[in-house]
Structure 1
């Protein structure tokens, strides 16, 4: 099973989807993560402000931060290897890393499109 780990910069809450001015990129990414989990992929997400030890105790992440600093975040690991840094991945990238078919990616989000509803 694929494990995707997301090491977020310091955010106000675990997803960054909070506060007065919500970043649409974070809203989209949170929905994509939820969709990915519904497809059976394990996703772990760490926030630098709330879980600094997760960053310090992971040698890959620690080395990345020593080289790039916090400005290089977010950092995405797939099965422990760096897959992406500096931006959040698109749903198609997440699906590819998880081995999910292109059809599943192009379908409506899982929370709004149910089999037999006519939208899929």
Structure 2
């Protein structure tokens, strides 16, 4: 299993989901990470204010911050290699990077709706003049 770690800027709490204005991106990341964990996939998430020691002891992130500073956070590390900086991984990137099905991140596989099967997806009802 791939080892993924996400290092984030300082936030008021471990997820950043506190206060009156919740960032939708932080909500998405928390949801994805919870879904992964429910499926047995652990992604470590470190916040600069609640886990500063992780930023010191991890040589990869420590070197990165010395060179680039904290303005380039969040940083995603996969197997001790930086793979994404300045943003969080997209849902598709999570799937690709850690080799899990989309269902593991809370996405359902896309399927053709029953109504689309009856109308060939064109929206007509099968009468005259229908595609």
- Please state which band the TM-score falls in when normalised by the shorter chain: 0.7 to 0.9
Task: Return 5+ residue gaps in structure 2 as ranges.
Answer: 110-131
User: What is aligned with 1:16?
Assistant: 16
CA–CA separation in structure 1 for the residues paired with 2:104 and 2:6: 22
Task: Return 5+ residue gaps in structure 1 as ranges.
Answer: 109-120
CA–CA separation in structure 2 for the residues paired with 1:92 and 1:30: 15
How many pairs are equivalent? 108
User: What TM-score does the superposition give when structure 1 sets the normalisation length?
Assistant: 0.82
* 3-state DSSP of counterpart to 2:28: helix
User: What is aligned with 2:108?
Assistant: 107
- Computing the radius of gyration over CA atoms, which structure comes out larger, 1 or 2? 2
Provide, for residues 40-98 of structure 1, a one-character-per-residue CA deviation record: whole Å limited to 9, x for no partner: 22211111011111101111001100111110000111122111110011111111111
User: What TM-score does the superposition give when structure 2 sets the normalisation length?
Assistant: 0.75
User: What is aligned with 1:45?
Assistant: 45
* Shift of residue 38, structure 1, vs aligned partner: 2.5
User: What is aligned with 1:115?
Assistant: none
CA–CA separation in structure 1 for the residues paired with 2:31 and 2:8: 16
User: What is aligned with 1:3?
Assistant: 3
